[in-house]
């Protein structure tokens, strides 16, 4: 397959962390990639330069604030113009932080629902015609806490629950031309906010495999879903068994 024929993937929030690993995995698999970022221009451009060094004209960067409706529309248009096709949309960008009920604000609500639900929905809407033309895929980064609430993170959990339902709803609505699936990571990377060692140990106790996962685990699952043409409307938990709940002692 020539470079001009290779499929194209847009991954939101992909300059760093999980998004970067997904970009690298898809690029390794022969995809041309579009690295979306908000404020991480240096990281995004460095990643694109590295990938273009491996394979010329195979990576591009696009900046957008996903909380700005107009910029979401512009991102959709620019993404289609990058390589004149789009095969995959990975809605990865996400805000995450605690919002205890007593101190939660409307700004928290707008940020968490905006990044985790609204932007993925309207980006999917804007890109659906281009994806349908390629029998493409949408993959949404959900969370195991979409179904099992995380203490003091009610708004985030509600937003991810909405994203889970969006995944299933769009899988039905966009069939048969577009497949839509979700991935629900467990403990993969510790949050940007510092966690005490005791808190980390408590989380590990909840995981049957007794260890955290890696960004590679998530990227491999993205690639698996892209290569599985009869899977749609599914949420795959990549969590070491954590969503099974606590083990019951006899």
Catalytic site residues?
156
Closest CA to 176 of 142, 139, 221, 131: 131
Does a cis peptide bond (omega within 30 degrees of 0) precede residue 176? yes
Strand partners, 60: 34
**Best CA proximity match to 9, nearest among 139, 186, 126:** 139
Paired tokens of 92: 């990865």
For 226-248, give the DSSP string: HT-TT--S-EEEESTTGGG-SPP
Rounded to whole angstroms, the Cα distance separating 9 from 90 reads 7
Return d(Cα 244, Cα 120) in angstroms, integer.
28
Q: Do 34 and 62 contact (CB within 8 A), yes or no?
A: yes
């Amino acid at each position: 397959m020539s470079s001009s024929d290779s499929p194209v993937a847009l991954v939101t929030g992909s300059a760093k962390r999980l998004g970067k690993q997904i970009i690298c995995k898809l690029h390794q698999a022969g995809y041309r990639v579009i690295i979306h970022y908000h404020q991480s221009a240096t990281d995004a451009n460095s990643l694109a330069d590295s990938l273009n060094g491996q394979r010329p004209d195979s990576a591009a960067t696009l900046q957008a604030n996903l909380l700005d409706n107009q910029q979401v529309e512009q991102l959709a248009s620019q993404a289609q113009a990058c390589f004149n096709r789009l095969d995959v949309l990975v809605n990865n960008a996400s805000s995450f932080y605690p919002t205890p009920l007593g101190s939660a604000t409307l700004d928290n609500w707008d940020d968490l629902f905006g990044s985790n639900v609204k932007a993925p929905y309207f980006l999917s809407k804007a890109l659906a015609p281009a994806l349908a033309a390629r029998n493409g895929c949408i993959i949404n980064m959900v969370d195991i806490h979409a179904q099992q609430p995380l203490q003091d993170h009610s708004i985030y959990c509600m937003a991810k629950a909405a994203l889970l339902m969006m995944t299933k709803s769009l899988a039905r609505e966009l069939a048969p031309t577009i497949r839509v699936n979700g991935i629900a990571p467990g403990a993969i990377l510790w949050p940007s906010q510092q966690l005490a060692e005791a808190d980390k140990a408590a989380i590990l106790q909840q995981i049957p495999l007794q260890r955290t996962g890696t960004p590679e685990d998530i990227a491999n699952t993205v690639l698996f879903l892209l290569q599985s043409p009869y899977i749609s409307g599914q949420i795959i938990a990549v969590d070491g068994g954590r969503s099974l709940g606590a083990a019951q002692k006899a």
